Amino acid sequence: MPMNALLSVSDKTGVLELAQALHALGFGLLSTGGTAKLLADNGLPVTEVADHTGFPEMLDGRVKTLHPKVHGGLLARRDFPEHMAALATHDIATIDLLVVNLYPFEATVAKPGCTLEDAIENIDIGGPAMVRSAAKNWKDVAVLTDASQYATVLAELQATGSVSQKTKFALSVAAFNRISQYDGAISDYLSSITDDGSHAQFPAQTNGRFVKLQDLRYGENPHQQAAFYRDLHPAPGSLVTAKQLQGKELSYNNIADADAAWECVKSFDVPACVIVKHANPCGVAVGANGLEAYSKAFQTDPTSAFGGIIALNRILDKDAALQISKQFVEVLMAPGYTAEALEVFKSKVNVRILEIALPPGGATAWDKGLNAMDIKRIGSGLLMQTADNHELVLADLKVVTTLQPTPQQLEDLLFAWKVAKFVKSNAIVFCKDGMTMGVGAGQMSRLDSARIAS
């Protein structure tokens, strides 16, 4: 039985090369609209879906593939004789490989000035319907919803003449995930529209969509199971984009502490270092370079810094690495490392070294990597708020005392304010000359926090 592939994509990245390879393997090619034109213009024998079904596109292209000759070819079980007999009776060919990516709804609504009409016209109907049909019948149909899947499928076809059941099942899961994400984005957008046509900050319904990065050995405690997830579209320069260069597997607590350290160090434009224990900064400092910033941060509380999480917002060089290597470190984070710095830690194989790429714009563009929302889980619900991205500046301060602070004291106050944002309440931060002198955290009494900080 001849093999057929249906290709209908909005993002045409790699689709021509895929179609050429499928044609070389003997696949018949079906396609629609712009995809069909691209293939035909490049000399490939392609049948328009309208010719395949005998029914023309209608309603300005809104109805193209919603036809039994398409969905019958996707849904028919090859191991059910009655299904195959029905196909023969109605002259329906099987479709063995489906390549579909959807109208760019998410990209459309992200554009400034997007209207409701623009959004509605970018809600795909036929694409998701085909994807669902193919994904349901995964044992017989391979469904590709992203260009990153093309190479894997082609490699299997070229090596064995077919796509393995394992790969087809994985493609089916990915397809249903994509449809869920797509429908969730539509639901979020439409749910945010108010009676006057504006968009509410918090939609009437929200659909959390996250991708698992890895399973973790256990959670906060050994009896808890855990996994690490990221947003579908993570902010640049955030922890979930980190590349681990060496060291043991990250634990749940490592990740929680690392995020606290990284978010804190990102708030400084000048070279800075943050040392965290149990999600609280125990030393923070700025300096002329990483070595100076680390040395000052470590001086705050050398005892608590033992086994700490260290984050720097500049590339780590050999001098700073040599100094840091003198203490026990659980996790070290920086935007990059010199080769000499990495060599210093080669013998310390358990140290988890993370490299987190700077957001576009470099070391002074951390504002491009800010989270938009903070979410806190409560029993059977969520608390959502806009992220605390406000940066206090000198003009915001009002001196109400007779004694006027010096410019250096005002600078230190702004520094302490940045640090206090990341300290658990009650939070007290003492600082001087761009370094913390003491940090008091998590006490029921602010007096006790002050005593601890002192």
**What is Dmax (Cα atoms) for the chain?**
95
What pLDDT is attached to residue 329? 94
Domain that holds residue 139: 4-191
Quickly state the pLDDT bin for 364 (edges 50, 70, 90).
low
Round the average pLDDT of the chain to a whole number and report it: 88
Does residue 214 lie in a domain region?
A: no
- Rounded (10°) angle between helices 15-24 and 150-160: 10
Given a cut of 80, whether residue 354 has pLDDT beyond it is yes
Residues sharing a CB contact under 8 Å with residue 302, sequence separation 6 or more, in sequence order: 327
pLDDT tens digit string along 68-120? 888 888 998 888 788 888 888 988 888 999 999 988 888 888 888 888 888 88
Helix (H, G, I), strand (E, B) or coil at 365: coil
Helix (H, G, I), strand (E, B) or coil at 329: strand
* Choice among 23, 136, 348, 421 that is catalytic: 136
Length of the chain in residues, anyone? 454
Given a cut of 80, whether residue 284 has pLDDT beyond it is yes
pTM of the model: 0.79
Best CA proximity match to 408, nearest among 423, 394, 392, 427: 394
> What is d(CA 120, CA 12) in angstroms, rounded to the nearest whole number?
22
Summarize the confidence of residues 364-371 as an average pLDDT. 66
> What is d(CA 422, CA 276) in angstroms, rounded to the nearest whole number?
10
The domain boundary, picked from 129, 160, 191, lies at: 191
Does residue 425 lie in a domain region?
A: yes
Best CA proximity match to 423, nearest among 307, 295, 283: 283
Does residue 218 lie in a domain region?
A: no
> What is d(CA 439, CA 241) in angstroms, rounded to the nearest whole number?
29
Given a cut of 90, whether residue 342 has pLDDT beyond it is yes
256 and 179 in one domain?
no
CATH value at residue 346: 3.40.140.20
Does residue 97 lie in a domain region?
A: yes
132 and 241 in one domain?
no
151 and 19 in one domain?
yes
164 and 279 in one domain?
no
Quickly state the pLDDT bin for 368 (edges 50, 70, 90).
low
φ, ψ of residue 378 to 5 degrees: the values are -125, 175
298 and 172 in one domain?
no
Verify cis geometry, omega within 30 degrees of 0, for the bond prior to 426.
yes
* Choice among 12, 23, 83, 278 that is catalytic: 278
285 and 157 in one domain?
no
Does residue 171 lie in a domain region?
A: yes
Given a cut of 70, whether residue 202 has pLDDT beyond it is yes
Q: What is the DSSP letter of 58?
A: B
Helix (H, G, I), strand (E, B) or coil at 310: strand
Does residue 217 lie in a domain region?
A: no
**Whose structure tokens read 């940045």?**
418
Best CA proximity match to 258, nearest among 349, 334, 333: 333
Given a cut of 80, whether residue 11 has pLDDT beyond it is yes
Quickly state the pLDDT bin for 309 (edges 50, 70, 90).
very high
How many domains does the chain divide into? 2
Whether 390 is catalytic: no
Single-letter amino acid code for the residue at 293: A
φ, ψ of residue 192 to 5 degrees: the values are -85, -10
Does residue 183 lie in a domain region?
A: yes
> What is d(CA 422, CA 281) in angstroms, rounded to the nearest whole number?
7
Q: How far is CA 162 from CA 41, 84, 99, 270, in A?
A: 28, 20, 16, 56
Summarize the confidence of residues 179-191 as an average pLDDT. 86
Does residue 219 lie in a domain region?
A: no
238 and 167 in one domain?
no
245 and 335 in one domain?
yes
Write the DSSP string, 233-302. Answer: SPPTT-GGG-EEEESSPPPHHHHHHHHHHHHHHTT-SS-EEEEEETTEEEEEEE-SSHHHHHHHHHHH-H
pLDDT tens digit string along 218-265? 999 999 999 999 988 888 888 999 999 999 999 999 999 999 999 999
> What is d(CA 343, CA 216) in angstroms, rounded to the nearest whole number?
28
Whether 346 is catalytic: no
> What is d(CA 168, CA 166) in angstroms, rounded to the nearest whole number?
6
244 and 121 in one domain?
no
239 and 185 in one domain?
no
Summarize the confidence of residues 184-193 as an average pLDDT. 84
pLDDT tens digit string along 418-452? 888 887 788 888 888 888 887 777 677 677 677 76
Best CA proximity match to 262, nearest among 350, 179, 338, 331: 331
Best CA proximity match to 7, nearest among 110, 136, 127: 127
> What is d(CA 427, CA 253) in angstroms, rounded to the nearest whole number?
21
HSE-up of residue 183 (Cα within 13 Å, Cβ side):
12
355 and 268 in one domain?
yes
What pLDDT is attached to residue 448? 60
The domain boundary, picked from 156, 191, 226, lies at: 191
pLDDT tens digit string along 28-39? 999 988 898 899
251 and 185 in one domain?
no
> What is d(CA 226, CA 217) in angstroms, rounded to the nearest whole number?
7
> What is d(CA 113, CA 6) in angstroms, rounded to the nearest whole number?
34
The domain boundary, picked from 191, 216, 247, lies at: 191
> What is d(CA 103, CA 109) in angstroms, rounded to the nearest whole number?
12
**Whose structure tokens read 């060089």?**
317
Beta strands 373-378 and 352-355 are unpaired
pLDDT tens digit string along 117-139? 888 888 888 889 999 999 999 99
Q: Which two tokens stand for residue 129?
A: 């319907």
CATH value at residue 36: 3.40.50.1380
> What is d(CA 270, CA 29) in angstroms, rounded to the nearest whole number?
57
> What is d(CA 78, CA 93) in angstroms, rounded to the nearest whole number?
11
